[in-house]
Structure 1
Amino acid sequence: MAKAAWVTGGASGIGAAVSRRLASQGYRVLVTDVDVSGGEAVAAEVGGVFRRCDVREPADSLAAVEAAVAEFGGLDLAFLNAGVATGFGLEEGFTPEAYRRVMSINLDGVVYGVHAALPALKARGGGNIVATASLAGLTAVPFDPIYGANKAAVVGLVRALGPLYAPAGIRVNALCPSFAETAIIKDVRDVLVGSGVPLLEVSDVVAAFDAILAGSGTGEAWYVQVGRPAEPFAFRNVPGPRTEAGDKAPSADPSVQITAFREN
């Protein structure tokens, strides 16, 4: 039986490129997007199925997974890739409505996608969830703090879900590219190029996606940077607790999943 994949934001850019790569590897692909014409074109190209899906709406993600199961018999991979640029900070241009829109697409869309995909992946005995975050989720982003915030939240979510669902055979990882040649940067491309910022080719991001699937890790955030091989970002552990005398605090029950709060 062919493996089945669900791709959000699949009408263009990274989502479309990954849909093509997955199809070339034998996956049946459910392409979803709010761009109906673009999504239908990609789905037809890869021999897949298209469904409109607004990732801000939990019911849309649930319906997408139901469609994948109905069309393909199950689900093995969810690539939660839909995202938008922010383009405003906390002063000029800020409104609660604009803020909620970008947070709901870039963060809530991943949360709703994971929630929808988990039962189908468990029914298959395991699988993969890959969420598109950004290098902006791994560093301070003073020029776009809200984008940095929602992408950092995606990274934090993935790092927590990785060990949580490893026993079920489900790997959860994040793809964290720098600026790539896609429509999402159209409003800032000239500024980036004028500032000497090198842009990734979409093929570089697809290669990193392939590397994630080929690996065995989970809860990882794979950075993709021009001129460097993609690999998991090395996070430093938080300082562990100490007694009043300055000694290591007694180890907690290892069955309790709060390891990060008691490691050195």
Structure 2
Amino acid sequence: MEQVVVVTGAASGIGAAVARHFGRLGARVVVADIDEAGGAAVAEEAGGLFVRTDTTREEDNLALIEAAVAAYGGLDFVHLNAGIGDGGGFGQDDYDAERQHRVLAVNLHGVMFGLHAALPVLAAHGGGSLVVTSSMAGVGMAPFDPVYAATKYGVIGLVRSLAPTWQEKGVRINAICPGFVRTPILPPEAIDYIVGEGFALAEPAEIAASVAEIAASEEAGRAYVLQAGSAPEPVAFPRLDLVRTDT
């Protein structure tokens, strides 16, 4: 039976590559984005459906999942990929509360809304897989964009905290932490600098193949670092056991 796949932020970059990848595999793909022209074009390439979605609106997330089920009769895999950068810093010249709020709304609240909309439906349709796009900034640091890094740490906390409960219901939740990827989130001058400094730059199609591999695995609650030319590498988080003392 054909998989039903939903991808947010799928008009370009990693999301578009994931949509195309699953389309080539014969899945029924639902492309979600606020970019109507780009999203519709990717949906056509993937042989699927475009649903305009502002992930910062809870009602849009609910409508997206409802549209996927109405069109294709089920739900098997959801990739919550929509994200933006440039939350600014904390100096006098780069502090912008409105810009910070926008990054938080897309990267963190949007993921929360997506999880709330998708998880019960995945469970109700026999289980499945959900992958959230974090970043290497979510397990390291990003001095150039600390607000972005904070949101990417946040989604990993969500994934790890939700995974055990939903795994019991048949839904596997994982995160990906891409390194440098040739996507619109990186301006041309940044790409030139990265390449000039000798850092590896992955193509979106390579990340998409890793996403499909993770989605098909039985793992849950993991965060995988994805870098050019390398297999997905799970992050080794410290084991934190509660300490009990007898009194």
Code of the residue aligned with 1:190 in structure 2: it is D
Aligned to 1:163: 164
Aligned to 2:215: 213
TM-score, normalised relative to structure 2: 0.93
Aligned to 2:81: 81
Aligned to 2:234: 232
Code of the residue aligned with 2:19 in structure 1: it is S
In structure 2, the CA distance between the partners of 1:190 and 1:90, relative to structure 1 (3 Å rule), is farther
Q: Which runs of 5+ in 1 are unaligned?
A: 244-248, 251-264
Q: Which moved more, 1:100-109 or 1:194-203?
A: 194-203
TM-score, normalised relative to structure 1: 0.88
Q: Alignment partner of 2:131: what SS?
A: strand
**C-alpha deviation, 1:161, in angstroms:** 1.2
2:21–2:209 contact (8 Å) kept in structure 1: no
Q: Distance in 1 between matches of 2:86 and 2:165?
A: 30
Q: Distance in 1 between matches of 2:4 and 2:66?
A: 12
Aligned to 1:196: 198
**C-alpha deviation, 1:191, in angstroms:** 3.4
Q: Which runs of 5+ in 2 are unaligned?
A: none
Instruction: After superposition, give the CA deviation of every residue in 1:19-77 in whole Å (9 maximum; x if it has no partner).
Output: 01111222101101010000000111111010110101111001101100110112111
Q: After the TM superposition, which residues 127-142 of structure 1 pair with which residues of structure 2 at under 5 Å, given as runs?
A: 127-142=128-143
Q: Alignment partner of 1:32: what SS?
A: strand
**C-alpha deviation, 1:89, in angstroms:** 1.0
Aligned to 1:260: none
Bigger relative CO (Cα 8 Å, ≥ 6 apart): 2
Aligned to 1:45: 45
Instruction: After superposition, give the CA deviation of every residue in 1:230-264 in whole Å (9 maximum; x if it has no partner).
Output: 12111111365364xxxxx79xxxxxxxxxxxxxx
Q: Distance in 2 between matches of 1:89 and 1:192?
A: 21
Q: After the TM superposition, which residues 166-177 of structure 1 pair with which residues of structure 2 at under 5 Å, given as runs?
A: 166-177=167-178
Aligned to 1:246: none
Q: Count matched residues.
A: 245
Q: Distance in 2 between matches of 1:75 and 1:36?
A: 23
Q: Does 1:109 align with 2:107?
A: no
**C-alpha deviation, 1:86, in angstroms:** 1.6
**C-alpha deviation, 1:223, in angstroms:** 0.6
Q: Alignment partner of 1:37: what SS?
A: helix
Q: Distance in 2 between matches of 1:191 and 1:231?
A: 25
Code of the residue aligned with 1:213 in structure 2: it is A
Q: Does 1:55 align with 2:55?
A: yes
Q: Which has more radius of gyration?
A: 1
Aligned to 1:70: 70
Q: Distance in 2 between matches of 1:230 and 1:204?
A: 11
In structure 2, the CA distance between the partners of 1:65 and 1:206, relative to structure 1 (3 Å rule), is same
Code of the residue aligned with 2:111 in structure 1: it is V
**C-alpha deviation, 1:207, in angstroms:** 2.2
1:79–1:129 contact (8 Å) kept in structure 2: yes
Instruction: After superposition, give the CA deviation of every residue in 1:164-219 in whole Å (9 maximum; x if it has no partner).
Output: 10110000000110010011111632333344332112222112112202321101
Percent identity, please: 46
Give the aligned CA root-mean-square deviation in angstroms: 1.7
Q: Distance in 1 between matches of 2:54 and 2:241?
A: 40
Aligned to 1:150: 151
Q: Distance in 2 between matches of 1:233 and 1:108?
A: 23
1:133–1:151 contact (8 Å) kept in structure 2: yes
2:130–2:215 contact (8 Å) kept in structure 1: no
Q: Alignment partner of 2:60: what SS?
A: helix
In structure 2, the CA distance between the partners of 1:87 and 1:103, relative to structure 1 (3 Å rule), is closer
Q: Distance in 2 between matches of 1:216 and 1:126?
A: 12
Q: Distance in 2 between matches of 1:87 and 1:189?
A: 19
